[in-house]
Structure 1
Amino acid sequence: MYNMKRIILLLLFTSFNLYSQVGGESIYNFLNLSGSARQAALGGKVFTLIDDVNQPIWNPAAINDNLDGKLAVSFMNYLADVSFATASYAHKINEKIGTFHTSINYLNFGSFVGADGDGVETGGFRAYDFSISIGYSYNIPNSDFYIGSNLKVINSVIENYSSFGLSTDIGILYYNEQNPFRFALVMRNMGYQITVFDEEREKLPTQFDMGASYKLQNVPIIWYLTLDNLQKWELAISNPSNSVIDIDGNATEENISFLDNSIRHFSLGVELFSESAFNIRLGYNFRRAKELMLVDKRTFSGFTAGFGIKMKKIKFDYAFSKYHSATNASTFSLNIDFN
């Protein structure tokens, strides 16, 4: 019964919670899962952070020399025994070459008990997703624009079945110290499944995203706005629970308005005291809230919150993410500056 519960949660995880594309349309969806506590607390997707060594996983254009010697390790306790761990590190080669960034993502689905068609147990097995990446960014001469790219090697394993893939991210970031705003464009997870699980080759969860942030001048607050999944504008699907049944038993499907569909592309975040020893963060993911809401019941799905504590060369971040009334997620990040 316990393993059946985990399998059901695994299906929910694949279909809804990664919100990269509609469930079943792509493989390696874990690539769109945020493992950084700071990013998770700000709504799950942020592309304009330049002082966080976790950020280049999402936007390689954010790689800069100030990240040199910084290491971040993160852990998220997800559904049932599902857990997600990431590690990021940046190293500056020299003044001429610049800084490279590398990261590792590992999604562990836990242990399962296998059985044949007759229900006879065949032993335990595991399932996991893994990726390793290397990235580099370049400042376009005489401009405030940075362009960067990640190259990822991906591996997914279910029992004795395995799949390998390659993908790349391309990001553009506008940043000027004199301006209070930043702007980013990112195309993520463009690639190819090299070896397949079965005979069918699947698509990667490619995304085209935009992000912006604005720092208030006289108040220690930074606002973050993200517009994601622009490659697939119609994200909304009618919810059978919201169908209207007339007196004759005829069902009318839910009508998805333009506004209802559009809002699912947005997430908002706010960070208070970002440069202080203690930070507070809040976020809201509209798509997560819409897709995981319950009829006639408030669940606060889509809401995120967290904080950060700086202690000299060490920084600790925590994020709380509300997915559903049945489950929440906590993310922990530890950042170390070896310089």
Structure 2
Amino acid sequence: MKQGHRIGILLLGLALAGLPGSSAWAQIGGQHAFEFLSLPASAKLAGLGGVNVSARDADGTMLLGNPALLNEEMDGRASLTYIDYLADIRQSTATYVFNSSRLGRMGVGLTYLNYGRFEQFDAAGNSLGEFSVNEYALGITKAVTTGNFTLGGTAKLAVSGIAGNHSVGTVLDAGGLFKHPTTDFTVALAVKNLGYQLRPYAGSEREPLPLDVQVGATIKPEHMPMRFSLTAHHLQQFDIVYLDSAQRGKLDENNEEIKPKKSVGDKIARHFVVGGELLLSKNFQVRVGYNHLRRRELRLDTRSGGAGLSFGVTFRLSQFQLDYTRAYYHVSGASNYFTLARSLDSIFKKNSGS
């Protein structure tokens, strides 16, 4: 495996968990199957800090953040997302939202993550050729709106494969959202990645899925071209602070480790993600996000390199919308997110009319 590929795999693993993969060290990561489900799968989600459950608009990819964000503005919209991680790691996501008289409003999403190809060796060091590593999840979302409230759910099938060895799981996301009737204000709750590992990898035991309970709010002050979001994640577990081995204390007289103290303020702050959008016009918007957990866990002792920050823009040209985000995970590099969206209704209507 090339050195750059090793670094890419390591950093993506850190991003997936927010911390190292050892179950002895980890607070919220490294102990779950299908950790890739925790990654932001679109440019807008990444641009708002990687976690958001309340930014309600016409962007169909937001149903990946909270199924209750599915709404009438998304009807007929399809989107394709390409994510350029470090080394050869690539992720692609497709979503489509439709509304039918029989099924109601529904969305379909497919996420595929490819870690590239690796060379395999036997115990004696002889090459056995190359193998691939990939994961994907297919989900169907259903949402129902009554008055100012929306309830939604997404059922997923998740598959992870390494060199022909596969693990399969079923996953459920559930969410609720309240939209204020007169002001641009929403508050929402989402429970992500409830599920069960139907089939573990050969020789492995079943593992839990990366459960995440999230609450958030989004508001656009009147007469201001800005929208603000605040989201809290991993509310099912208060202490998600990781202290790596280099920062831990020495042994006391009883030969027990003296661990550094964790402040209550730091424990609370790591649960929050902040996002902001500057609505310059209908066709051009700018967004910024800050993920405090990501910054604290992925920074170096001497510098952070922008870890935890993300910046994005939205362009609308004719019937197309292009979103781009650059999200910083580590001083070694950042990831690029591209989402292209278009309403397919006009195409279908035009063809049927002709």
TM-score band w.r.t. shorter chain: over 0.9
The structure 2 residue matched to 1:84, chosen from 88, 91, 105, is: 91
**Displacement after TM superposition at 1:242 (Å):** 3.3
Helix, strand or coil: the match of 1:233? coil
Instruction: Show CA shifts across 1:139-172 (max 9, x none).
Output: 23xx411101000011110002101111111100
The structure 2 residue matched to 1:234, chosen from 228, 235, 239, is: 239
Check the 8 A contact 2:29/2:210 in 1, yes or no. Answer: no
Counterpart amino acid of 1:155?
V
- 1-side partners of 2:281 and 2:233: how far apart? 27
The equivalent of 1:285 in structure 2 is 291
Check the 8 A contact 1:313/1:338 in 2, yes or no. Answer: no
Helix, strand or coil: the match of 2:296? helix
Aligned residues: 333
The equivalent of 1:69 in structure 2 is 76
Distance 1:223 1:274, change over 3 A: farther
Distance 1:233 1:254, change over 3 A: same
Unaligned runs of 5+ in 1: none
Helix, strand or coil: the match of 1:76? strand
- 1-side partners of 2:137 and 2:294: how far apart? 25
Instruction: Show CA shifts across 1:287-330 (max 9, x none).
Output: 00000111132422101101000112100010011111111111
Check the 8 A contact 1:60/1:149 in 2, yes or no. Answer: yes
Check the 8 A contact 2:298/2:304 in 1, yes or no. Answer: no
Q: Which runs of 4+ in 1 moved over 4 A?
A: 243-246
The equivalent of 2:262 in structure 1 is 256
The equivalent of 1:148 in structure 2 is 152
- 2-side partners of 1:298 and 1:238: how far apart? 16
Instruction: Show CA shifts across 1:15-47 (max 9, x none).
Output: 444439633210101111112111111111111
**Displacement after TM superposition at 1:5 (Å):** 4.5
**Displacement after TM superposition at 1:244 (Å):** 6.1
The structure 1 residue matched to 2:221, chosen from 213, 216, 219, is: 216
- 1-side partners of 2:126 and 2:4: how far apart? 19
Q: Which has the larger displacement, 176-185 or 228-237?
A: 176-185
**Displacement after TM superposition at 1:174 (Å):** 0.6
Structure 1 residue 159 corresponds to structure 2 residue 146: no
Helix, strand or coil: the match of 2:60? coil
The equivalent of 2:323 in structure 1 is 317
Unaligned runs of 5+ in 2: 20-26, 346-354
- 2-side partners of 1:320 and 1:17: how far apart? 17
**Displacement after TM superposition at 1:338 (Å):** 1.6
Structure 1 residue 135 corresponds to structure 2 residue 134: no
**Displacement after TM superposition at 1:252 (Å):** 5.0
Counterpart amino acid of 1:175?
K
Counterpart amino acid of 2:46?
A
The equivalent of 1:108 in structure 2 is 114
Q: Which has the larger displacement, 182-191 or 296-305?
A: 296-305
- 2-side partners of 1:24 and 1:245: how far apart? 25
Instruction: Show CA shifts across 1:179-214 (max 9, x none).
Output: 221001000111111111034011111110011101
- 2-side partners of 1:293 and 1:176: how far apart? 38
Check the 8 A contact 2:321/2:340 in 1, yes or no. Answer: yes
Counterpart amino acid of 1:88?
T
- 1-side partners of 2:228 and 2:305: how far apart? 25
Counterpart amino acid of 1:68?
D
The structure 1 residue matched to 2:35, chosen from 6, 22, 29, is: 29
The equivalent of 1:51 in structure 2 is 58
- 2-side partners of 1:15 and 1:326: how far apart? 12
The equivalent of 2:187 in structure 1 is 183
Check the 8 A contact 2:120/2:128 in 1, yes or no. Answer: yes
Counterpart amino acid of 1:224?
S
Counterpart amino acid of 1:10?
I
**RMSD (Å) for aligned C-alpha atoms:** 2.1
**Displacement after TM superposition at 1:245 (Å):** 6.9
- 1-side partners of 2:47 and 2:53: how far apart? 13
Counterpart amino acid of 2:317?
M
- 1-side partners of 2:48 and 2:268: how far apart? 20
Helix, strand or coil: the match of 1:54? helix
Check the 8 A contact 2:50/2:291 in 1, yes or no. Answer: yes
The equivalent of 1:6 in structure 2 is 5
- Superposition TM-score, scaled by structure 2 size: 0.89
The percentage of counterpart residues that share the same residue type is 29
- 1-side partners of 2:193 and 2:316: how far apart? 32
* Pairs within 5 Å for 1:294-305: 294-305=300-311
The equivalent of 1:337 in structure 2 is 343
Distance 1:337 1:27, change over 3 A: same
Distance 1:274 1:127, change over 3 A: farther
- 1-side partners of 2:14 and 2:306: how far apart? 20
Helix, strand or coil: the match of 2:294? helix
The equivalent of 2:349 in structure 1 is none
